[in-house]
Amino acid sequence: MRQSSGRKLTMHKKQQLIGWFFLIPATALIFWLSFYPMIRALMISFQGGRPTALQWSDPLTRNYQFLMKDTVFKTSLKNTFTYLIIQVPIMLVLAMIFATLLNDHQLKFKGVFRTCIFLPCATALVAYSLIFRTMFAYDGMINSVLMKIGILNEPINWLNNPGTAKAVIIIALIWRWTGYNMIFYLSSMQSIDYAIYEAARIDGAGAATQLFKITIPLLKPIILVTAIMSTNGTLQLFDESVNLTKGGPANATITMSHYIYNTMFQNNPNFGYAAAMSFVILILVAVLSAIQMKVGDKRE
């Protein structure tokens, strides 16, 4: 007895140690590839100067102070929130409608419809952005179709007008992401017992009542998840702004991430300022998610 507790480990402790040993590689990788860069980025956001010879800013919050005076950053912030406020609700409502339609037990060829709506999510972001750019070009498909059927008399330069360019980005986003959110709704709808709907129908509940009184309350947690994910994704929007409109015309569609990219790679490289801006996005995502959690999650 004494011998085993002194020198040799008990079976249980030994197993625990081996467990920790297996965790080391993953933990080390996460620290090295995720936490270390985050801490470095935070440090860089307080630094300035030439990229290969960064120095602490004086005062330390100089980059953050500049942020307040940066008109392009304000424009990008405004654009990003425009996308967020218009696109996310439309997309989630559409996803909910599609999911409800596809959840109908009498519907035929369900698999085909489901695939069609989900397929956009399988396309690469750059590829679909380029296709949308071609479609909405001055001599592109959209203009020629609208002119053929007589809606337009002369082509619209979609991507060269601040309003329509924003609209094109929002349309593209809705096309790309609605199916993705629909799959979440659909899968959790399928876990709702069909007997509940049958009982409701016997009690005289119509389709709308079923949707608002049964489906949506039961889907609340998943709606919350999709709302947070979409908000998060929209705040970090990059590919569409870069590839579809190049942020133009006159920065009317530039997003925050795109401006950060420009600060690093297009303009005179300014690592410290770019890092500071990305921390602003981090804070915005955290705050918005916290609000949504507070509002949406009423579980006791």
Partner 1 sequence: MKKLISMLLALVLVLGCAAFAEAGEQADGKLTIWCWDKTFNIAAMEKAKEMYQADHPDVEIDIEEVLSEDIESRVIASNGDTSTLPDILLVQDHSIQKFVTNYPEVYHDITDEFDFSDFMPAKLGLSVVDGRNYGVPFDSGTVVAAWRTDYLEQAGYTVADLTDIDWDRFLEIGRDVKEKTGMPMLSGQAGAVDTVLIMLQSCGGSMFNEDGTANLAGNEKLKAVIDTYNTMVAEGIFIEVNSWDEYIGTLSNGSVVGTINGCWILSTIMSLADQAGKWDITNMPAMVGVDGATNYSNNGGSTWAVVNNKDIDLALDFLQMYRNVDFYDAILPATSAIATFTPAKDAPNYTAASDFFNGTPIFATIVEFGDSVPAEVTSPFYYDARGNVGTAVTNALNGGDLDSELQTAQDTTEFTMGF
Q: Which stretch, 62-70, 216-224, 232-240, 282-290, contacts partner 1 (CB under 8 A)?
A: 62-70
Asked whether position 135 contacts partner 1 by CB under 8 A, the answer is no
Site for partner 1 in 222-281 (CB under 8 A): 245-246, 248-251, 262, 264-270, 272-273
Compare residues 115 and 134 and give the one whose CB is closer to partner 1.
134
Compare residues 98 and 259 and give the one whose CB is closer to partner 1.
259
Site string for partner 1, 140-179 (x = CB under 8 A): -----------------x-xx-x-----------------
Q: How far is the CB of 218 from partner 1 (least distance, A)?
A: 46
Site for partner 1 in 73-132 (CB under 8 A): none
Amino acid identity for residue 209 in this structure: T
Compare residues 248 and 296 and give the one whose CB is closer to partner 1.
248
Interaction site with partner 1 (CB under 8 A)? 48, 50-52, 66, 69-72, 133, 137-138, 157, 159-160, 162, 245-246, 248-251, 262, 264-270, 272-273
